[in-house]
A = this chain, B = another copy of it.
Amino acid sequence: MNIGQASRETGVSIKMIRYYEQTGLIPPVARNQAGYRHYSENDLHRLRFIRRARDLGFSIKHIAILLSLWQNHDRENAQVRDIANQHISGLQNRITEMEAMITTLQKLVDECAGQDRPECPILTDLEH
């Protein structure tokens, strides 16, 4: 199967498939005589794995680790859980930060809307 169809099957863009190969996240795939990449069912499997992990917000570095654990039968499941828990914590921290931003912003917007003064409380806050 050529790269275009592999892309359609897995939901990973052609650009990203080549990028993953180039950066070593996936091993080089087979080529035909013209140099076209050729994807086996196994290759597609790996791409779907990556796609799913990206959808869950894992970084490429974490995905690299997950891929190696995936194919290492000596792994401890706890290692996988560690990666996942680490990722969950990262997400939660970012959410906490963003919620704090929203709280501040919403208060400023409310103040700004609730009055007809010429100066805008949002800008006044930023100025400070």
Judge if A95 is at the interface, Cβ distance under 8 Å: yes
Instruction: Enumerate chain A interface residues (CB-CB to B < 8 A).
Output: 45, 48-49, 52-53, 55-57, 66, 69-70, 73, 75, 77, 80-81, 84-85, 87-88, 91-92, 94-95, 98-99, 101-102, 104-106, 108-109, 112-113, 118, 120, 122-123, 125-128
Copies in the complex: 2
Beyond A57-B98, A81-B120, 7 additional pairs, beta carbon < 8 A: A49-B126, A49-B127, A66-B126, A70-B123, A84-B112, A87-B105, A91-B105
12 A-B residue pairings within 8 Å (CB atoms): A45-B127, A48-B128, A49-B127, A52-B126, A52-B127, A69-B120, A81-B109, A81-B122, A84-B105, A87-B105, A88-B105, A91-B105
**What separation, in Å, do the CA atoms of A113 and B84 have in the docked complex?**
12
Distance to closest chain B CB from A124 (angstroms) = 10
Complex partner residue of A113 from B55, B73, B81, B126, CB under 8 angstroms: B81
CA distance A85 to B57 in the complex (A): 25
Let me know if A99 and B95 touch, CB within 8 A.
Answer: yes
Flag if A70 contacts B108 (CB, 8 Å): no
Chain B residues within an 8 Å CB radius of A80: 112, 120, 122-123
